Structure 1
């Protein structure tokens, strides 16, 4: 009798272990703090999947604790990383077409960004991702602006001679066309570069300006507004495609449902980030400058002569991709 009870208990333990063995853990990497909107998007997906109770857990490694910011796409494509929230233009070296996702003046506002995410243009980019065994779970764009350590930057002539940081190749080309000197780095490195005198100007997203406390290092901020936003960057939550396809039907469904909820949150919160960042900079005593429609037109004209032109020349299907993007109203 005793032996039978022992056997039953052992069987129960083995069943429990078998169940545990079937539970899948996915690793998600990003470069931001847990206050940042991009972390919150990742957390929504993780929480929703956990609530679905499908033996799937997403473990988030934030603040560049697992991979360096610009080194996440390659391990993702190789299956060494399961998921990441990544500015896609960071992977422009591997796929030059991705440089179009941070093209000056291409995106008009947040709703236009959302339409771009659901367009044939994005489908063409997703085909390129699929070639790298990568897929999009959550689409999202963030707007951004300029900061100056010692002066305001609104027009192209304001950046001449300054050591500046831009997030991607297209912006670097445009700023170089305005006679700025370019220093490439991830947004997480701007604070120290400003502090040590390596940079005296930068552009990045409104969210990064706040979460990295850039307001402590600058005298002037030129934010994105509803009417004038030169800087829009596609920053999706990506997943290794084979990893997704290896999950059960229930796990895939839970992930997709979580992603849908996170994407709706991302869009609504992204709209709030620009105005919220202005308040943070104002409260820190930073001067707020406004880019005029004439300033915007001057930047756009410069971008067309530099960034747009180079993109079409350097990317085999660049003109077709650019035309698809410009066709989205």
Structure 2
């Protein structure tokens, strides 16, 4: 006999639950939206959580309540690293998910954090309408993923003991880079690397397992890393670290929806890209204020320092990535053509 707890867990994990409104013959499709970031409200908190809530609110309005979105922040529904695989299997409807987290399962996704490749928000967001965007979108669709909202984020570094500004500063440090390719660059610079999702950086720095964490400006704020850091390297003016963190959807779930619902999802997703860019850029500025208030020393990256990192990246991570698969090589070529 199934236990009550097992039944509850099964009910929680079930995607695309149908609900019937009172006096309505039309079933409402409930889409569960998962992410690893702190929860808030539609007006306050981490912009990535707010984007998910805005998405849920808007698809409900436009569908007349036929589509309902439920947001599960803080990996409360499914553990962080399992979300991509769950979407591919149709066990999770949507997730705002850092694409390179899927690199162990699908190495091609590491194009979403290739150090030194994307240098501005405009460049990253331009991928969507260029050959690299079509190639990436088609590839992900073949893997069971639909890109709903393109979100790019610049990154910076929170460090415990000394500033991590140039590659020379990395020697001897234990650093969380955020992707296999970033880790390769750090190792070439003399660092040891730690592979954890951004919601685990705080604990790693607090215990001393990690000396410095590279992550998005928003995560540097939302995960309160200023509490365990004495230095911040800001990417507000320039950065070698741009991560693609899109709102993704299970293609298996998407394909089961009627076309009018699919159209609503894609149109709302596209319209939220401006909000995502605005939120990321606002946090690039806000992060310095947060860390200065906490007593940390703040340094800014400049173009010359970014190029030092890019030189290492092109000679290590880029070469390694392009040799992985023919798709990797094509994505990298198309991305460099789009620069």
Maintained 8 Å contact 1:54/1:254? no
Unaligned ranges ≥5, structure 1? 1-14
Q: 2:35 aligns with which of 14, 20, 30?
A: 30
Alpha-carbon deviations, 1:201-226, whole Å to 9, x = none? 11000000000000110111001133
CA distance in 2, matches of 1:16, 1:266: 32
User: In the TM superposition, what is the alpha-carbon distance from 1:20 to its structure 2 partner?
Assistant: 6.3
User: In the TM superposition, what is the alpha-carbon distance from 1:251 to its structure 2 partner?
Assistant: 2.1
Alpha-carbon deviations, 1:170-191, whole Å to 9, x = none? 1001001111111110000011
User: In the TM superposition, what is the alpha-carbon distance from 1:322 to its structure 2 partner?
Assistant: 1.1
2:99 matched to 1:88?
A: yes
Q: Name the CA shift for 1:260/1:31 in 2 (closer, same or farther; >3 Å).
A: same
CA distance in 1, matches of 2:256, 2:168: 53
Aligned to 1:289, the other structure's residue is in SS state strand
Q: Which residue of 2 aligns with 1:267?
A: 277
User: In the TM superposition, what is the alpha-carbon distance from 1:61 to its structure 2 partner?
Assistant: 0.8
Deviates more, 1:295-304 or 1:76-85: 295-304
CA distance in 2, matches of 1:46, 1:314: 37
Q: Which residue of 2 aligns with 1:19?
A: 24
Larger radius of gyration: 1
Unaligned ranges ≥5, structure 2? 1-19, 40-44
Alpha-carbon deviations, 1:66-123, whole Å to 9, x = none? 1111111111000000000000111111211111110111112111111123221121
2:320 matched to 1:310?
A: yes
CA distance in 2, matches of 1:221, 1:113: 24
Aligned to 2:53, the other structure's residue is in SS state helix
Q: Name the CA shift for 1:248/1:313 in 2 (closer, same or farther; >3 Å).
A: closer
Aligned to 2:249, the other structure's residue is in SS state strand
Maintained 8 Å contact 2:150/2:270? no
Q: Which residue of 1 aligns with 2:170?
A: 159
2:206 matched to 1:201?
A: no
Maintained 8 Å contact 2:21/2:27? no
Q: 1:258 aligns with which of 259, 268, 273?
A: 268
Alpha-carbon deviations, 1:217-250, whole Å to 9, x = none? 0111001133x21110000000111312222233
Deviates more, 1:90-99 or 1:71-80: 90-99
Q: 1:279 aligns with which of 289, 293, 298?
A: 289
2:66 matched to 1:55?
A: yes
CA distance in 2, matches of 1:88, 1:54: 30
CA distance in 1, matches of 2:315, 2:104: 21
**TM-score, scaled to structure 2:** 0.89
CA distance in 2, matches of 1:305, 1:16: 58
Matches within 5 A, 1:70-149: 70-149=81-160
CA distance in 1, matches of 2:169, 2:26: 59
Aligned residues: 314
Maintained 8 Å contact 2:175/2:213? yes
CA distance in 1, matches of 2:307, 2:270: 35
Q: Which residue of 2 aligns with 1:66?
A: 77
Maintained 8 Å contact 2:156/2:216? yes
Maintained 8 Å contact 1:44/1:258? no
